[in-house]
């Protein structure tokens, strides 16, 4: 079996990143859906939600739940903050960027830790 059905550790980390990026895209799509009043963005939001839940579930078959969930959450949090700044003009400052840097440092640390 290939792909996501026979997942190696390396593939699981790759799919975890994809799942985290789907989470970021989902958060942005919810903003564009305007409280689920815009049909197209609402559909995109629900599809992204299904994608990241499916991928995260598959990844959890290989990686420890605590590590995988923390990394996935970190990708979602850091990515959403950065896209909020870039797309929606949300506030940017040293403290916010420092917080994102700490989240990224945590992600890297968890990736380097033995599984």
pLDDT at 115 over 80: no
Q: What confidence tier does 33 reach under pLDDT thresholds 50, 70, 90?
A: very high
The mean predicted confidence, pLDDT, of the chain is 93
The per-residue pLDDT for range 78-91, each reduced to its tens digit, is: 999 999 999 999 99
The per-residue pLDDT for range 67-80, each reduced to its tens digit, is: 999 999 999 999 99
Query: DSSP code of 1?
Result: -
The per-residue pLDDT for range 86-113, each reduced to its tens digit, is: 999 999 999 999 999 999 999 999 888 8
pLDDT at 4 over 60: no
Q: What confidence tier does 1 reach under pLDDT thresholds 50, 70, 90?
A: very low
Which DSSP string do the residues of 10-60 spell out, in sequence order? HHHHHHHHHHHHHHHHHHHHHHHHTTTTSHHHHHHHHHHHHHHHHHHHHHT
> 90 by DSSP, 3-state: which?
coil
């Amino acid at each position: 079996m290939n792909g996501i059905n026979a997942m190696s550790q390396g593939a699981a980390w790759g799919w975890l990143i994809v799942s985290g990026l789907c989470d970021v895209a989902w958060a942005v799509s919810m903003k564009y859906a305007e409280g689920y009043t815009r049909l197209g963005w609402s559909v995109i939001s629900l599809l992204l939600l299904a994608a990241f839940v499916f991928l995260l579930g598959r990844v959890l078959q290989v990686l420890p739940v605590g590590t995988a969930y923390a990394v996935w959450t970190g990708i979602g949090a850091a990515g959403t903050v950065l896209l909020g700044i870039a797309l929606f003009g949300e506030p940017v400052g040293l403290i916010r960027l420092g917080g994102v840097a700490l989240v990224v440092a945590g992600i890297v640390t968890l990736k380097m830790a033995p599984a």
